[in-house]
Amino acid sequence: MPYAIVTGGTQGMGKAVAEKLLAEGFSVAICARSMDKLKAAEDEWNEKYPTASIVTVNADLSDKQQVFSFADTVLSNFPEIDLLINNAGMYLPGELADEPDGMLEKMIGINLYSAYHLTRKILPVMMAQKQGHIFNMCSIASLRAYPHGGAYSISKYALLGFTENLREEMRPFNIKVTAVCPGAVYTPSWENSNVEESRIMETKDIVNTIWNAYNLSPQANVDMVVMRPVKGDL
């Protein structure tokens, strides 16, 4: 049975990816800040996927020690790690000249440090296995500046840089690393935006792309995925 970690796995893209993996026979570990959402996901999945091992941990991944605690829990339950999806993140709009003090630290903490610290805890297992695949959920904000990007965009640029350095270092260990850079995807953050659901991408678009990239031959890797709504960015 393969084993996967999905951060931010109780809603949006994270939950959709976790459900796809469970349906494909994976055991899955997720974390989130909401205990209620974790419990709801765990109850739902235990009923739908009774043979899977499901690990849920209440954790704020902007806190380094909580990242380590989550990793330790996963590694004590899973004998190997085949897939790591660093999906946890947060978007707050801002302008560099006047966004609140501490915004950059907050965005870097959840959008970069969470992936950095968790990956470093998991890497020794993958390196010993000589296999594995890491997906970092970047953004089109990792690729270009745009209005109201502010500290968020900086953090996503940094996540892409981390991803590219990680890929180079992991080549000798046959560990694949992919940056996923989506534009607007219909998740709960868009529900009250007054943007038509048909205008932007569906979570299944991202899920299917990740799944297809994961299932390439051992000698092939997708370095970066860039996806946008067919009518362009918002």
* Domain membership flag for residue 232: no
Q: Taking residues 147-163, what's their average pLDDT? A: 97
Summarize pLDDT for 112-140 with one digit per residue, the tens.
999 999 999 999 999 999 999 999 999 99
- What residues are labeled active site? 152
State yes or no: pLDDT of 152 exceeds 80.
yes
pLDDT class for 15, splitting at 50, 70, 90?
very high
What CATH number corresponds to the domain at position 106?
3.40.50.720
* Domain membership flag for residue 154: yes
| In the block, residue with structure tokens 């609140």 | 100
The pLDDT assigned to 191 comes to: 74
State yes or no: pLDDT of 156 exceeds 90.
yes
* Domain membership flag for residue 68: yes
* Domain membership flag for residue 234: no
Rounded to 5°, the CA angle 223-162-179 comes to 30
Reported pTM: 0.96
* Domain membership flag for residue 88: yes
Domain coverage including residue 56: 3-227
8 A C-beta contact, residue 130 and residue 95: no
- Quote the number of domains for the chain: 1
* Domain membership flag for residue 233: no
